[in-house]
Amino acid sequence: MKALQLATIALFMAVSAFAQKPQDTEDWSRQPSAITPVTKGHAPSDAIILYSGKKDIDNWVGKNGKIEWSTKGKALEVKAKTGMISTKQGFGDMQLHIEWRSPKKVVSEGQGRGNSGVFLMGKYEIQVLDSYHNKTYYNGQAGSVYKQHIPLVNACRKPGKWQTYDIFFTAPKFNADKSLKSPAYVTVIHNGVLIQNHVELQGPTEYIGKPSYKYHEAKLPIKLQDHGNPVAYRNIWVRELSDL
């Protein structure tokens, strides 16, 4: 009897498998858009160009409206004591590419050496720092989610060399009553090396104390920090992932 049951089950499975077709698991619901991919020095065709040279300065606004940072060639360089600059456009879920360079001449040490920061939504900082043979607290070195997540490795190049961040950000989501629905997540690739692997953010960046979430809009500007050091930026572009 047992042998007959097993044979029946085997026959049923064989017939079921035969009845299915390869097309049954094909998905034709959404055709991916065809784009031009990244090439050397050029963003993908579906990217929003935030800074590629002096003409793109109009995409940004300074502390008092006017941009006081200096433009040298195709680079945008921090001018000390002029304050953060912000994109005029707000972003939520995104892929952000940004290139940065700390000063070739080494001045100071620790947090005083080539310090700046990329603030996603103006609130969540990915640290920019000259961390090449430069000791500081590990959740404050280059590529850290500042004061929250230590990078997996230190992928910094020598001072004065251009470096890249490719940042994949999932913005936090809030309920109708403004309570937190889901936290933010970020993945960071530094100079082609994965250093933050889909880490959960505990809230906006805090210099002192523990972070916690407070309701904010679904899209907010990206900010670049003036920390007093002449850090330069170039080739900044973003892809809005929530719109794909």
Residue 133 and residue 142 in contact, taking contact as beta carbons nearer than 8 Å:
no
Give every CB contact of residue 151 below 8 A, 6+ residues apart in sequence. Answer: 138, 141, 142, 143, 144, 188, 190, 195, 196
| Residue-wise pLDDT tens digits, 74-86 | 899 999 999 999 9
What 137-144 contacts at long range (C-beta under 8 Å, 24+ apart), as own/partner pairs, is: 140/111, 142/190, 143/188, 143/190, 143/195, 143/196
Q: What whole-number distance in Å separates Cα of residue 11 and Cα of residue 16?
A: 9
pLDDT of 1 > 60? The answer is no
Q: What domains lie within the chain, and their CATH numbers?
A: 36-243 (2.60.120.560)
**How much is the CA Rg of the chain, to the nearest whole Å?**
23
Handedness of CA 196, 198, 204, 208 (dihedral sign): negative
Residue partners of 235: CB distance under 8 A and separation at least 6: 41, 43, 51, 52, 74, 97, 98, 99
pLDDT greater than 70 at residue 151:
yes
Task: Choose between 53 and 113: higher pLDDT.
Answer: 113
